[in-house]
A and B are shown apart, each in its own frame.
Chain A
């Protein structure tokens, strides 16, 4: 479990070495050695708080993320598409549950986290505040939004915090279907009638920039990156992941015969990477602040679902209590 350096101190020293500085050193050397931190292990308070914030934001994003696509379940163009979309939206709900569970291992209750979401004090991914006016949006979300999410999430499978890493392994396995079904929708539209092709292009035009903003602010402006990387919560910087995403996605757009809506986008022979145009961070900040096209609508939908479900939660609990009381009387 512990590193060589600490072992060499001998067993007696290990038991005395419990002051904060030593605990922190021992924690960091465990992280440096790529060992995992588990719920009952000692951890710095700031590490715990960072994880609670990140994991719960991630969970909220999955839950709110069910809404833009849920919008199309009743209007999916075929039974196959409908079954797939229901399965995908159900997965997103499941991902939210895995993540809330992981956050709870850090000593926060699920109710507290849900309250923060419903009160509007917690953040979730700004991408879900954009509307889904056409069926092509369902394709674009699967292809681009889930694609960007996978890029972000794969490194988190090796995160230093065990429960978060394990939740992410499950999630990444399931996300792959999401991305492929999205690309398939885009492919069908892009190869369809001119009108369908236009629909696919329009969806790409609207989702491209929000998708590449999903990786967060530029490295220079990202205040948490350095510490998160030292703690191995984060393995790559925002810009590194964004670049990777652009490099793999542009050829996919070309395959579809669609045009990425960035007039400055070009391949750079020297670096073997695409160079992209300037990102409008003002828009990102506005959406994050709550002024995106659908922020209010999304939160209202969550609050309504929570309120409408209250009687079910209460009735289930009352029923279980009654059953228990009956069993006790019978015994």
Chain B
């Protein structure tokens, strides 16, 4: 399949919904280059004023953590509940704390 080899590369799309908010991942899109990826992302993901800014990045450039490492990475934080304000009991009569 000659066309199979010529598939347009995949880009991940991130959109800033309003100024003041961060860009958020919304999905992906095929495009020949970054400029076209932005044009296509605009047509596909902002038909209803969903954004004021678009980021695209080649999907192959994203480095992700391995789900198999999830415990090693995230479990250590689980028992450190003293990092949350609710861990500390303060009498009700003390205000503004």
What separation, in Å, do the CA atoms of A40 and B71 have in the docked complex? 15
Question: By the criterion CB–CB under 8 Å, are B4 and A323 in contact?
Answer: no
What separation, in Å, do the CA atoms of A112 and B43 have in the docked complex? 24
What separation, in Å, do the CA atoms of A38 and B68 have in the docked complex? 12
Q: Which of B36, B47, B74 contacts A91 (CB 8 A)?
A: B47
**In the complex, B64 has a CB within 8 A of chain A:** yes
Question: By the criterion CB–CB under 8 Å, are B32 and A320 in contact?
Answer: yes
Question: By the criterion CB–CB under 8 Å, are A41 and B27 in contact?
Answer: no
Question: By the criterion CB–CB under 8 Å, are A94 and B47 in contact?
Answer: yes
Question: By the criterion CB–CB under 8 Å, are B33 and A324 in contact?
Answer: yes
Question: By the criterion CB–CB under 8 Å, are B7 and A320 in contact?
Answer: no
**In the complex, A63 has a CB within 8 A of chain B:** no
Question: By the criterion CB–CB under 8 Å, are A1 and B70 in contact?
Answer: yes
Report chain B residues within 8 Å CB of A3.
none
Please classify how large the interface on chain B is, using the bins under 10, 10 to 19, 20 to 34, 35 or more.
20 to 34
**In the complex, B28 has a CB within 8 A of chain A:** yes
User: A40-B66, A91-B47, A111-B1 are contacts. A101–B28 as well, Cβ < 8 Å?
Assistant: yes
**In the complex, B30 has a CB within 8 A of chain A:** yes
Chain A residue nearest to B50 in the complex (CB): A170
What separation, in Å, do the CA atoms of A166 and B15 have in the docked complex? 15
**In the complex, A223 has a CB within 8 A of chain B:** no
Within 21-53 of B, Cβ neighbours of A (below 8 Å) are at: 27-30, 32-33, 36, 43-44, 47-48
What separation, in Å, do the CA atoms of A94 and B13 have in the docked complex? 14
What separation, in Å, do the CA atoms of A41 and B68 have in the docked complex? 8
Residue-wise, chain A 12-44 has the 8 Å CB interface mask toward B (1 for contact) of 001100000000000000000000001011100
Question: By the criterion CB–CB under 8 Å, are A316 and B32 in contact?
Answer: yes
Report chain A residues within 8 Å CB of B48.
174
Report chain B residues within 8 Å CB of A110.
7, 30
Question: By the criterion CB–CB under 8 Å, are A111 and B27 in contact?
Answer: no
Within 65-123 of A, Cβ neighbours of B (below 8 Å) are at: 87, 90-91, 94, 97-98, 101, 104, 109-112, 115
Residue-wise, chain A 314-329 has the 8 Å CB interface mask toward B (1 for contact) of 1011011001100000
Interface residues of chain B: helix, strand, loop or mixed (majority): mixed
Question: By the criterion CB–CB under 8 Å, are A41 and B67 in contact?
Answer: yes
Report chain A residues within 8 Å CB of B36.
316, 320
What separation, in Å, do the CA atoms of A94 and B6 have in the docked complex? 22
**In the complex, B10 has a CB within 8 A of chain A:** yes
Report chain B residues within 8 Å CB of A167.
27
**In the complex, A282 has a CB within 8 A of chain B:** no
Q: Which of A15, A42, A313 contacts B8 (CB 8 A)?
A: A313
Residue-wise, chain B 55-78 has the 8 Å CB interface mask toward A (1 for contact) of 000000000101100110011000
Question: By the criterion CB–CB under 8 Å, are A320 and B33 in contact?
Answer: yes
**In the complex, B92 has a CB within 8 A of chain A:** no
What separation, in Å, do the CA atoms of A117 and B8 have in the docked complex? 18
Q: Which residues of A contact B (CB under 8 A)?
A: 1-2, 11, 14-15, 38, 40-42, 87, 90-91, 94, 97-98, 101, 104, 109-112, 115, 166-167, 174, 310, 313-314, 316-317, 319-320, 323-324
Given contacts A101-B27, A112-B4, 8 further A-B contacts (CB under 8 A): A2-B71, A38-B67, A40-B67, A94-B47, A97-B29, A110-B30, A174-B48, A313-B6
In the assembled complex, 19 residue pairs joining A and B whose CB atoms fall closer than 8 Å, in A order, are A1-B74, A11-B71, A38-B67, A40-B67, A98-B27, A98-B44, A109-B4, A111-B1, A111-B3, A115-B1, A166-B27, A310-B3, A313-B8, A314-B6, A316-B36, A317-B8, A317-B32, A320-B32, A324-B33
